[in-house]
Amino acid sequence: TNCLTTAWRLLKTLSEDQQRYEKQLIFEHPVFVKLCQHLLRDARRMTRADLVFSLHAVVNLGVPQNTLLVQTLLRVCQEKLNQLDNRCISVLATTLAGLDKDKNVSALQAGLLLLAEQRIPSIRDIFILQNLMKCMGKDAPVFLKKKLEMAVLKEIDHLTYLNARRVFLGLVAMNYCSIPILNACSKKIQENIHDAQFWHLILILEACHNLQYRNVKLFSTVADYVNSSVCILDKKQIILFLSAFEILGFQPSELMGVFAEKVTADSEFLDLKSLLIVLRVYSRLNYLPKGQHHLFFETLQSCLNKYLPQISNTELLKAVYSLCILGYLPHRALDQLLQKESYERLLPSGDLYKEKKEMMLRCVKTCMELDSPSFTKPEFVPNENFSSLVSLNLRKAREALLELLGDENMFRQNVQLPYKYHIDFEIRMDSDRKKVLPVTATDNHPDTSVQRLAFLFVPLSAFCLGTTHPQGKLAMKKRHLSKLGYHVILVLNKKFQEMTNEDAVEFLKGKIYSENA
């Protein structure tokens, strides 16, 4: 056992290529064969700790699962299962998690589940508990996940940074979101942020995404720490963090500003993959570097132009789409994208992503028209369609508008505009925004002095996490509606639904009328 475990401990510190070479030397060594024969002969006479540690080492050294040695050790573990202490159960669970399902593995896992169910309430070691969480996996019964949760919560006061990180990953493995545990782990990670390795923080951010856990304080702490360490980080590492934050919908504005400066100073490090990530991050999180956004866009466009001869049509569409969302038109890339042969190759019949690509192309064409410097605000925008029907989540807003304005002729709902844009409610007012005008009267006599208000009731997910800063697509819609002559009012629907009827009326009143009305 000592021979095998020492060999594995030495190997696991090496790179993958070195491991492969060293394993080959071990397997070809004549003494290794004798050692395995000795282990096979004495398996039933070994102590419980030697047994499970030998199995763990043998599997990790790469001895095939279907060999007599591994199968014998699995059967002996079944026979001695009830004799195993908590530490041995933890090691065995880790080993089984890396094996394929077969008759012996399945039987041992079933027995281990029953034993873990009995033992969990008595386990006081968080390291063992998080190991069990990781190894039981998402297929573990819900009652067992709850038992593990309760056992961890009992010991939560003794949590260390290292265990907090491991518990995070254990919950991901179980696909189980325990808010009390996650909050405690987040607090411990924030307290010890300067002890964290950067790749550990990436794993924690990915875990938050997988568990759909959102903690603005944790994300802000990580972002501030990365920003303070930006001078010692590789630029590719910063891109990894930005990508992780983008997936969470969180905008680390200071970090994004610093990174934008690095890009404009020297963009040679941006390969095509990195460029596409940067474009996606800045467009979705709707970040424009203060005072230098035009230079930043020019730098990104120059990088994109460099890759135009080799870029695929899909990648080109993604890059152009991202820049258009930010309000920037990359002319050379647009010319290549909209060539007939590129267009046809982009939308082949049977493409699973055809609908999404069509939406992106439609958005690009809208931006080409509305964001063009030659575009002028139209005197009158025809409503393509509108409906008196209103969705359930907008009924409260409709009733509040009726109470405030007194007549449904004073506003229009479910308005469909050109360019596939839709607004929830439209209200028309005089130039001083003191008086609401009937929509039918202004329809018949278009007047440039009439102010048009567009109310958009939007979900929380349309904003960057923890802020009222709109994400890219919503910001683009707001920009385009403004160019069409609307004054856009964004309302967070969740917050509005929580208001009393009286508060809802007062809220809309404040949004509609000017302060001195």
pLDDT tens-place string over residues 361-370: 999 999 999 9
Two structure tokens written together for 385: 């369609």
Asked if the model's pLDDT at residue 145 lies above 80, the reply is yes
Kindly state whether residue 298 falls inside one of the protein's structural domains.
Answer: no
* Arithmetic mean of pLDDT over the chain: 89
Would you say residue 462 lies in a domain? yes
332 in a domain, yes or no? no
Q: Is the pLDDT of residue 477 over 70?
A: yes
Give the bridge partners for 413, in sequence order: 425
CA angle, residues 379, 381, 385, in degrees to nearest 5: 165
Residues listed for the chain = 517
Distance CA 440, CA 432 (A): 20
Strands 436-437 and 451-458: unpaired
Q: What is the pLDDT of residue 14?
A: 87
pLDDT at 93: 87
The pLDDT value given to residue 461: 93
The arithmetic mean of pLDDT across residues 487-502, rounded, is 93
Q: What's the count of helices (H) and strands (E) in the chain, helices before strands?
A: 26, 6
For residue 443, tell me if it sits in a domain.
yes
CB 134 within 8 A of CB 91: no
For Cα atoms 120, 125, 128, give the angle at the middle one, nearest 5 degrees.
70
pLDDT level of residue 192 (50, 70, 90 thresholds): very high
Q: Is residue 103 part of a domain?
A: no
| Residue 155 clears pLDDT 90, i.e. is over it | no
Question: What's the burial of 53, exposed, middle or buried (CB within 10 Å: 0-12/13-18/19+)?
Answer: buried
Provide the angle, in degrees to the nearest 10, between the axes of the packed helices 2-11 and 48-61: 40
Give the CA count within 13 Å in the CB-facing half-sphere of 109.
19
* 44 conformational bin, left if phi > 0, alpha if psi -120 to 50, beta if neither: alpha
What are the backbone angles phi and psi of residue 468, rounded to the nearest 5°? -110, 25
pLDDT of residue 68: 93
Listed in sequence order, the residues at least 6 apart from 272 whose beta carbon sits closer than 8 Å to its beta carbon are 307, 310, 311, 315
Residue 465 is assigned to a structural domain of this protein: yes
> Looking at residue 124, what is its pLDDT?
86
Cβ atoms of 504 and 397 within 8 Å: the answer is yes
Kindly report, residue by residue over 411-442, the tens digit of the pLDDT: 998 888 988 899 999 999 888 888 888 887 66
Q: Give the CA distances from residue 483 to residues 199, 288, 374, 380, 445, in Å, rounded to whole numbers and listed in that order.
A: 44, 19, 12, 12, 21
Decide: 72 and 41 in contact? Cβ < 8 Å: no
pLDDT of residue 94: 86
Find the mean pLDDT for residues 47-61.
92
| pLDDT given for residue 387 in this prediction | 59
In angstroms, the CA 312 to CA 321 distance is: 14
Range of the domain at 484: 392-513
Would 282 be classed as within a structural domain?
A: no
Q: Dihedral, CA atoms, 63, 69, 74, 79, nearest 10 degrees?
A: -160
Total number of domains constituting the chain:
1
Specify if 160 maps to a domain: no
Nearest to 51 by CA among 27, 23, 84, 90: 84
